[in-house]
Amino acid sequence: MSQSFDRSDSLQQLQQRKTPWDLVVIGGGATGVGVALDAATRGLDVVLLERFDFGSGTSSRSTKLVHGGVRYLKQGNITLVRDALRERTLLKENANHLVHDKAFLIPCESLWQWFFYGVGLKVYDLLATGNSFGRSKFISARRAVELSPAIRRERLRGAVLYHDGQFDDARLLVDMAITSATHGAILANYMSVIEIAKSSDGIVSGVVAVDTETGRRFEIAAKSIVNAAGPFGDQLRQMDDPKCEPMIAASQGVHLVFPKELYPGDTAMIVPQTSDGRVIFIVPWHDHAIVGTTDTAIPMAVPEPVPQTQEIQFLLETAGEYLTRRPTIEDVLSIFTGIRPLVKNDKSSRTASLSRDHVIKVAPSKLITISGGKWTTVRKMAQDCVDRAIEIASLSAQPCSTTTTKIPDSRSTGIAQLQRDSPQLADLIHPSLPIRHSDVVWAVQNEMARTAEDVLARRTRMLFLEAQASIEAAPVVAGVMSTVLGTDQDWCDAQVSAFERTAQNYLPHR
């Protein structure tokens, strides 16, 4: 049964339900929404609860690559790469309005490097057989500069060109959430799970959640529960069993966003050798260039992670070694930081070598925790997780069909219609940002945007692209939202202050 993607409808359904749901999913990141989509398309009664906004955690802060992971080849993780390459194709087929091919350059400073990376990429091609986005090839230094005009010519002996996918993570997430509702899932943001309920035999029987907008408490009964809280997964596991050993090692990754002029052209670049042993990417995205990422172990996950000065410095210096003009902090338009929910493998303390595979762990209470993996492989992660839930809770469900489940564009035609109906909605919100009043109205009416941050950070990507201009735009965004939501000036003022506070973490402090 198709459900509306409307928060008050969702809350009403939660309130009225008399029987247990088949499945409650905790966490509205890529993993949780993937699980909700899989479960709903199998005909299960599924509820997803997200304590902040959909995608407000790691899932809006990725490098935006749909990829097999060239660097995992170097680690010899062939199965991981091959599976991810297959998922890359499926995601492009199912969400082709948001996932597209991107050419990447690997600059080489010696014939040996040229040979080494060239052969490595041929292996990548081979693993992508049947799932290719385009074959890799050796190119001359001259051709490399034509494709990527900002690349430093001295020391360049040649390059290898290969193909991977690129996407808009938060937009895909919202479209996946809407698609799951179309297939019958009930989703609500700003619903924080505060307790895991159990029956007398110690088996999970539901959750207690709080609507963080009103403080209202919901007791939601369920036959199975999936903990998809990403970097916060251990908090949920400890709600279930205070003595359980933590399984997640948090590591943060910072990205710097530059104006397009710093890195013109459409071809991305991968810097294969950096001083911390990982690769960094310089990727054109939404008419800007993203440089990232770092991999810094942090003691614990926080909802709004803060970039460290040395991470910013590392990215500026490493990019500077490969670009004609060395970027400085003055060039940075926005900085965003995400936390990897890596799964500990006890033997290793270096986060760059912890498992990138997903892990599904079932507690004695039958709480199912899913963690690790990556955006690209979320469909497969969800399939494995729902298989486990069906088995554990003896749910009756159809086979998985998400290899062919389409995730359609939920907004283009709707926004165009809004502008035809009310031409003033085509006005820009801010002279330097490509968003219009219609984007805001659409996000509130159809995409469950509840705050100015939801609109500026995830329904549109302005905070990630232009932090200062987004702060300037916040009062207008809040004003438009307020008209649609029927809220007052106090609400607008609170939105603007809250947004300014969050946006400080995205501003380069000069």
Single-letter amino acid, residue 404: T
DSSP E strands: which ranges in 128-238?
137-140, 158-166, 186-188, 191-198, 204-211, 217-227
Segment interacting with ligand FAD, rule: CB under 6 A, options 146-154, 334-342, 406-414, 458-466: 334-342
The minimum distance between CB 493 and ligand FAD, in angstroms, equals: 25
Residue 6 has phi, psi (to 5 degrees) of -135, 125
When the beta carbons of 227 and 438 are compared against ligand FAD, the nearer one is 227
When the beta carbons of 41 and 296 are compared against ligand FAD, the nearer one is 296
User: Residue 167 and residue 93: Cα distance in Å, rounded?
Assistant: 13
Segment interacting with ligand FAD, rule: CB under 6 A, options 64-72, 422-430, 460-468, 483-491: 64-72
When the beta carbons of 139 and 289 are compared against ligand FAD, the nearer one is 289
Position 139 contacts ligand FAD (CB under 6 A): no
Selected binder of ligand FAD within 22, 38, 45, 50 (CB under 6 A): 50
Q: 368 pairs with which residues across the strands?
A: 226, 362
Selected binder of ligand FAD within 230, 265, 272, 327 (CB under 6 A): 230
User: Residue 385 and residue 373: Cα distance in Å, rounded?
Assistant: 12
Segment interacting with ligand FAD, rule: CB under 6 A, options 2-10, 24-32, 136-144, 447-455: 24-32
Position 351 contacts ligand FAD (CB under 6 A): no
**Considering only CA atoms, which of 182, 195, 277, 279 is closest in space to residue 242?**
195
The minimum distance between CB 205 and ligand FAD, in angstroms, equals: 17
Chain Cα centroid distance, residue 471: 22
Kindly tell me the sign of the dihedral angle through the C-alpha atoms of 234, 78, 63, 172: negative
Position 58 contacts ligand FAD (CB under 6 A): yes
User: Residue 352 and residue 480: Cα distance in Å, rounded?
Assistant: 43
Position 470 contacts ligand FAD (CB under 6 A): no
For residue 485, the tally of other CB atoms under 10 A from its CB is 14
- The answer to whether the CB of 331 falls within 8 A of the CB of 282 is no
Segment interacting with ligand FAD, rule: CB under 6 A, options 63-71, 195-203, 267-275, 414-422: 63-71
Position 68 contacts ligand FAD (CB under 6 A): no
User: Residue 334 and residue 488: Cα distance in Å, rounded?
Assistant: 30
Position 29 contacts ligand FAD (CB under 6 A): yes
Position 451 contacts ligand FAD (CB under 6 A): no
When the beta carbons of 263 and 375 are compared against ligand FAD, the nearer one is 375
Single-letter amino acid, residue 195: E
Binding site for ligand FAD (CB under 6 A): 26-32, 49-52, 56-59, 61-65, 67, 192-193, 228-232, 236, 253, 293, 338-341, 373-376
